[in-house]
Amino acid sequence: MGTMPEPAVFPWSIPLRGRIKVRAEDFVVDEIPATVPDGDGEHVWLSIRKTGHNSEDIAEWLARAAGVSRVHVGYAGRKDRFAITSQWFSVQLPGKDAPDWVATAPERVEILSSERHSRKLKTGHLAGNRFHLRLSDVTGDHDAADAVLERIRSRGLPDYFGEQRFGHDNLGRARAWFAGRLRPRSRNQRSLYLSAARAAIFNAVLRRRVEEDTWERLLPGELVMLDGSNSIFPAPVIDDDLRLRCASLDLHPTGPLWGRGDPGSTGVVLALESAVADEHSELAQGLDREGLAHARRPLRMRPTKLSWQWDEGGDLLLNMELGPGEYATGVVGAIAQLQQQ
């Protein structure tokens, strides 16, 4: 197997070609917090807007500025480097005054607010993200793109992990690690490699189900997720009520985030997922050895507040809100083949 993930496939033809992130202001992301600081506690929470920096860059700067270990800095989700992004960070400072953040802030980093809270900000603790995107140098069928976007708005799209999950070569490094040719140098690297390995298996399962036209309907043996939550229940038999709730997007079929043991699905779903895992056996076995517990991810996502318009120059402007772990580049990739910068 190569070091790149399998390309995503969709149940429609891709109508456009274009480019994103031509400029940082073409990709604007604002984190939607799940919690806001209450003003008291040993953690300082900072809302930060940054351009040209990823989340880890900022976490390392905050640790240096505060004179604490990196493990005492938290954030909810990783944000792109080549973009304008705002998000929350936390720094544990029990009984200590906060430093002058502004004095040491890197270029193009703005402190929007700073307030204390009782808890550290942990990965995944966010309500979602708000995106404002520009697709430039567009060629293709605008009417067909409008139709695909209308379908996405009403029915959703396959919830592939985006390119950010794989980084420059995190999947290749995961394979090298599992084969004994490399070891992660830090906890962060370990997390990145494990995440890439899981994402590759999940995307391969989703690709198979898109090809078989089962990605948006329930199969016997599903683990079903309630919309807008992480609540999951088994569905060994699919009845009319479940079919109706799935069609209305109240329920979603899920795919595996691979770990130790079996994925928890049964029947035809287990057979399909096991077959895909066998095709990626070095990844599945490596994840098993590392002791990760199995988890699930919905096979589809439905962007909220999705809107778009074409500007006078033919660029496509997209606005949407997505939940945690959902990728705006996945939405763009469902309507446009992205050209290299």
Assign residue 267 a region (left: φ > 0; alpha: ψ between -120 and 50; beta: otherwise): left
Q: Which of 26, 80, 278, 288 is catalytic?
A: 80
Six-digit token string for 154 = 């009403």
Six-digit token string for 114 = 């700073």
The number of residues in the chain equals 341
On whether the CB atoms of residues 138 and 336 are closer than 8 A, the answer is yes
Measured distance CA(257)–CA(175) in Å, rounded:
17
Task: Please list, in sequence order, all residues whose beta carbon lies within 8 angstroms of the beta carbon of residue 52, skipping any fewer than 6 positions away.
Answer: 24, 81, 82, 107, 108
**Residue 80 designated active-site:** yes
On whether the CB atoms of residues 164 and 54 are closer than 8 A, the answer is no
Measured distance CA(275)–CA(270) in Å, rounded:
8
Measured distance CA(108)–CA(321) in Å, rounded:
24
DSSP H helices in the chain: 55-66, 101-104, 142-155, 170-178, 187-211, 240-247, 267-279, 281-289, 328-333
The 3-state DSSP class for residue 71 equals: helix
* Residues taking part in catalysis: 80
